A and B are shown apart, each in its own frame.
Chain A
Amino acid sequence: MSAQVLTVTSGKGGVGKTTVTANLATALAMLGKRVTAIDADIGLRNLDVVMGLENRIVYDLVDVVEGRCRLRQAMIKDKRQPELYLIPAAQTRDKTAVSPSDMVLLCDQLRQEMDYIVIDSPAGIERGFRNAVAPADKVLIVTNPEVSAVRDADRIIGLIEAEEKGPGQLIINRVKPQMVSRGDMLSVDDVLDILAVELLGVIPEDERILVASNQGLPLVMHGLNGSSAGEAFRHVARRLDGESVPFMDLSVKPTFMSRLRAFMSGQN
């Protein structure tokens, strides 16, 4: 069986691509899959620190592409999982050191040995984005429920359709249920209305994401209970693996006051 290549992208920076890549790759590995995560954000290497593998880097993506090492030598094994690897980005080069066809070639070399290849895309819509999307079998678009992030996601959806990688699947990250229930944040339905694309996951805002990256231990590894974002990432992994997992209920439990307010506004 040949691996499926998943590219995580967004257009806008800072929406959670690296966080999603680290947690998804790890969650898939925890399901017993053979997974390689690739950091395609050349010059702004980050996936290594979020995954806690920064101390083990010898070779990187550009070393592989330029033939300074074999592919296997650049694959850092995450010892906490049976089959999870990271190919880190080069830190002192730029996006032009790699071409879209280099990425296709590299992924083709890996396909036979893996079940999933998860690629962390840089922000933007230029070379780095095209490198990340070129080998993709499926594009995962990460967005936040805010105007600028959704606008950029719409642009990305157009671009991946043009590259015949579409339509892509959506992950809405950093949802704050309290704000949504007050009407002060775009809801999941609002975003889906606007983007008209398939929903793959809804990840709540969760402080433990930051704690996890402080520690270099992706949130999905933090034990099985008590983390809603971790649980949401595990659900996404299972959906990718073909299981039908219902979306988590993130709505805020109604209080007397909120019910009264809903009644008064005719929204009950």
Chain B
Amino acid sequence: MSWLDRLLGRNETSGQIAKQRLQMVLVHDRADLPPGLLEQIKDDIIQVIARHTAVDTANVAVHLEQNARENRLIAEVPLLAARGRRG
């Protein structure tokens, strides 16, 4: 977005929004993994890891990444213990 757009309170164009939404939808379509299922996977991952160490549950992120028609599940699980140990 340009400074002018920001100044005038203009957002992204609807064409850009369309492209981003399409990219998101297609990642899930191609992986045959609905977005809601990803939320469940996230909860399961939190449970498993929390059995061993303290998880910063609010900041866990799970998403699909795609390149050249290959799908990858990316999970980021910040741990609370790591911070304490360093400090």
Contacts and interface: CB of A to CB of B under 8 A. Distances in A.
A194 B14 contact: no
B14 A183 contact: yes
B22 A147 contact: yes
A180 interface: yes
B13 A183 contact: yes
A186 B18 contact: yes
Contacts of B22: 147, 150-151, 186, 194
A183 B2 CA distance: 14
B25 interface: yes
A182 B26 contact: no
Given A151-B25, A154-B30, A186 B5 contact: no
Interface string A216-259: 00000000000000000000000000000000000000000000
* Chain B interface main SS type: helix
Contacts of B69: 196
Given A264-B4, A265-B5, A194 B13 contact: no
Contacts of A182: 13
Nearest to B23: A194
B59 to A, nearest CB: 30
How large, as a class, is the contact surface on chain A? 20 to 34
Interface in A195-226: 196
Contact of A190 (B15, B25, B29): B15
B68 to A, nearest CB: 8
A165 interface: no
Given A194-B22, A265-B4, A265-B5, A155 B29 contact: yes
Given A151-B25, A265-B4, A186 B30 contact: no
A264 to B, nearest CB: 4
B19 A180 contact: no
Nearest to B32: A158
B21 interface: yes
22 contacts: A147-B21, A147-B25, A151-B25, A154-B26, A154-B29, A155-B29, A158-B30, A179-B15, A182-B13, A183-B14, A184-B15, A186-B15, A186-B22, A187-B15, A190-B18, A194-B23, A194-B26, A196-B69, A264-B2, A265-B1, A265-B2, A265-B4
Interface of B: 1-2, 4-5, 13-16, 18-19, 21-23, 25-26, 29-30, 68-69
* In the A-B complex, the 8 residue pairs with the closest CB atoms: A183-B13, A265-B2, A264-B4, A183-B15, A190-B19, A184-B14, A147-B18, A186-B18
